[in-house]
Structure 1
Amino acid sequence: MNGSDPHVWERLEPAWHAAFALFVLVTAALVVTGTDAPTLPGLALLTVIGVAHALLAPPAMRAAPSRLGAAYLAATVPATVALFALTPVGSVMLFVLFPMVWRLLGTRAAVVVTIGLVAAVTVIGTVLSGAAPGPGYLALYGGAALSAVLLGLWITSIAAQSDRRAALLAELERTRSELAAAHRAAGALAERERMARDIHDTLAQGFSGITLLVRAAAGEIDRDPAAARWHLDLAERTARENLAETRALVRAAPPAPPAGDPLPVALSRSVARCGEAMGVGATLDTAGWDAPAPGRCPPERELAVLRIAQEALANVRRHSAASEVAVTLRRADGGTRLEVRDDGCGFDPAADRAGRFGVNGMHGRATELGGTLAVLSAPGAGCRVIAWIPDACPADPPGLAPEALAPEAPAPEETARTAGDRP
């Protein structure tokens, strides 16, 4: 239970006070209409019980056990016993006195008071009846005391169970609130990571390409105006595509290849742009990639393949100094297999380098969708990026062993990596 959900005793307290008042009124009516006892003394005792309950019971019940509870019982127990001695109708008030004893006292004290109260009532009843004490008296007293104690213990056990349930519910509520907060934080973090990755894979790459093209045009503007214009035209085209990517990110449109083109078409545009920017041969082989049936390969999976390819091509353009780039798109093991290969300078994947966001982002895209990614390279041996994205997340995705996925085995000096970037 939380702060706005009161304990069971607090929820039932108004009904209990109303029931207590009803018992007082019924007993008063019986005292007034009875002929076997003085009316004024009986009403005086009921007044003591009623006033004590009105003044002491509400705070005592909320702070039990406490001195207030002991003070309440010190006033009401003798008054109730005296009322019973005055008239048998006083026994009506015993029905509400016993629950108050067990509510306001600890278990041991409640047992002692209950046994004493039963003994007092039994003795008074025996005296009033004029019967001599005997085995029947002891049996009656013992049975009444045992019944009262067992009833009190039962009431206490119910209250204890209620306390345990209240504590459990409060703990569950706290846990649920903590989990909800953790889920919100995780969702916000995942969204930030997704946005950072999308910005890196689209806008940052585009701006990097534009910078390289403008720099090349600046170096050629005096000696080769035609080449400078060609680089500027390519920079303008890249900027337009970057603008389209920015608008798509702002709209938070469902993931799909740019311009809604099929994956091979969008990928061919990225490969051609890389070849144009580097002035080298760049090829795309999609002969082994059969367009899946509608709904078989969700758009976000095609987009992941495209983004991985774009990041790999951006690394080739920035770092490889390659003279040839080859991209292969295949269907394999119920998914899409992508390979980006260059014959550039290569690098040591085991080297400790800062700024690995690119390949880490590629790896994250693959693993989020149940796929795998490998980077194979060595200094002077070029680089191969191999990714596999399933059509649906499998329970156990196939591994990306180079001998199983690559059309040819890597050179002995090549090293496989799942994260990293060029120096």
Structure 2
Amino acid sequence: MPARPAHPALATTRGLQVGLDVLVGGLVLFSVGQVLVSGGSRGGVLTVVLLAAALLALYAVGRARVRVVDRPVGAPRGAWWPGGAWMLALGLLWLALAAAAPSALWLAFPLMLLQMHVLGPHRGVVAVVLTAGAAVAAWAWWSGTLVVGAVLGPLLGGAVAVGVVLGLEALVREAQERQRMLAELRATRADLAHAERDRAVAGERERLAREIHDTLAQGYSAIELLLRAARAQVGGDDDGARDGIDRARDVARENLAEARRFVRDLAPTDLAGAGETALAAALRRVAGRTADRGDVAVTVTVTGAPRAVGTPVETALLRVAQSALANVTQHAGAQAAAVTLSYLDDAVALDVVDDGVGFDPASLAPTSGPGRGAGRGAGSGTEDDAPGGYGLVAMRSRAAELGGTLSVESAPGRGTALAVQLPVPAAAPPRTGASAELAGEEA
């Protein structure tokens, strides 16, 4: 886009500039024509022609050197050089021409307009008053008498010149202020857009961090445990080693499917398929994998009438269940865990309870930054003792994003209970079935 002028002038002021040039030139030629038509002496006509030519030349030179109307309204004006000198020289030549040709007195009005523009609202008014007084005096000298019209004409002309110029400059000032405000508005919009992009990037990073923690990180942790067990059985129990390796491969395939889903930004592969019981089926698959990877018996119970609650709610509940069951397997030392999915009137709740070693909930307070905490069981974050543990923080963040709540109850030796409840609108958006294609591909 072309660069905008720093101080744009209104089109009317530029039109006034051209009109002023035409008016000055026309009135000078009119004065010369009046002398020629009146049949004055050769010397008088020559004097008028020379004075008119000098005035037009001086006007043209000044117009080339001094900006008249195409200037910032607030710019300093009225300096002696070059604007003040130009106005003084033009005034003296005009008086000389008026002395030789009375019709040149008509030049007083465009000269007043020019003085206001060049000298500004303060010195310009003084110059207009002096010009009006000179016009009255010149008329009285030529006619030998002084009438009311000869006095009111220049005075009214001066008043009109002052009013017109001040009014136009007020319009220009308003236009410049509007331009400044528009520039500030554009800058503010650009800043807001940049901030919104940063917020979106931060939100997406947080979302991906939760997804990776609840899926890929948990799966890779399980792979590591299975391969460690398989390595210990190599040379002793070949069937057990092969079984551990096969289970590790299954987990690797599951995590590969999750990684591909991230790229396509589809719903979790466990939620593939349609129907109001898809979430319950997904929870049973997760529970089955958890039982296969460890010695924990996991049961899934559904209460209430299953209904569509929308992909965001289903995804959040599934991820919370995955993270909680991963904690049960890796940290709780539990023998059994129970997952309960409850459909309420205006909400859906998920409870994960284990009979593990439990922990003190007070130890969940962050100690060195987001995601740090201690504890074992369904309610604690995965890898809590490792730097950057993220599990409970991710689960709370998921619940908060959807306007829900998450609570953890536990005590040493008494197991852990995690409960999350998410509100569901009366008409939840339909689940997307786009993940079915991915599920088929992975199969």
Q: Same fold (TM over 0.5)?
A: yes
What SS is found at the alignment partner of 2:321? Answer: helix
Q: CA RMSD in A?
A: 3.2
2:317 counterpart (267, 283, 305):
305
CA offsets per residue over residues 193-214 of structure 1, 9 Å max, x none?
2222222222112111111221
Q: How does 1:65-144 map to 2 (within 5 A)?
A: 65-66=76-77, 67=79, 68-84=82-98, 86-87=100-101, 90=104, 93-94=107-108, 96-132=110-146, 143-144=156-157
What SS is found at the alignment partner of 1:49? Answer: helix
Q: How does 1:172-211 map to 2 (within 5 A)?
A: 172-211=185-224
Structure 2 counterpart of 1:218: 231
1:4–1:189 Cα change, 3 Å: farther
1:40 counterpart (50, 53, 66):
50
2:183 counterpart (170, 187, 198):
170
Distance 1:92 1:205 in 2: 95
Structure 1 counterpart of 2:418: 385
Q: How does 1:233-252 map to 2 (within 5 A)?
A: 233-252=246-265
Q: CA deviation at 1:152?
A: 3.5
With 168-177 and 366-375 compared, the bigger mean Cα shift is at: 366-375
Letter in 1 for 2:279: L
1:148–1:213 Cα change, 3 Å: same
TM-score, with length taken from structure 1: 0.79
Q: CA deviation at 1:31?
A: 3.8
Distance 2:252 2:19 in 1: 81
What SS is found at the alignment partner of 2:166? Answer: helix
Higher relative contact order at CA 8 Å, sep ≥6: structure 1 or structure 2? Answer: 2
With 111-120 and 85-94 compared, the bigger mean Cα shift is at: 85-94
1:33–1:333 Cα change, 3 Å: farther
Asked if the contact 1:344/1:382 (under 8 Å) is kept, the reply is yes
CA offsets per residue over residues 371-411 of structure 1, 9 Å max, x none?
222233333332222222233499xxxxxxxxxxxxxxxxx
1:276 counterpart (292, 299, 318):
292
2:364 aligned with 1:349: no
Distance 2:75 2:299 in 1: 84
What SS is found at the alignment partner of 2:360? Answer: coil
2:297 aligned with 1:287: no
1:142–1:191 Cα change, 3 Å: same
Distance 1:156 1:17 in 2: 13
2:404 aligned with 1:371: yes
Q: Gaps (5+ residues) in structure 1?
A: 395-423
TM-score, with length taken from structure 2: 0.76
CA offsets per residue over residues 207-234 of structure 1, 9 Å max, x none?
1111122122223345544443333222
Asked if the contact 2:258/2:268 (under 8 Å) is kept, the reply is no
Asked if the contact 1:70/1:105 (under 8 Å) is kept, the reply is yes
Asked if the contact 1:256/1:300 (under 8 Å) is kept, the reply is no
2:8 aligned with 1:8: yes
2:351 aligned with 1:339: yes
Structure 2 counterpart of 1:263: 279
1:143–1:45 Cα change, 3 Å: closer
How many residues align? The count is 387
With 192-201 and 94-103 compared, the bigger mean Cα shift is at: 94-103
Q: Gaps (5+ residues) in structure 2?
A: 39-44, 373-387, 428-443
1:186–1:76 Cα change, 3 Å: farther
Asked if the contact 1:338/1:388 (under 8 Å) is kept, the reply is yes
Q: CA deviation at 1:132?
A: 2.8
Structure 1 counterpart of 2:59: 49
Distance 1:95 1:138 in 2: 14
With 233-242 and 312-321 compared, the bigger mean Cα shift is at: 312-321
What SS is found at the alignment partner of 1:61? Answer: coil
2:352 aligned with 1:319: no
CA offsets per residue over residues 261-318 of structure 1, 9 Å max, x none?
42222221111111222211101112325132xxxx3323221221122122222222
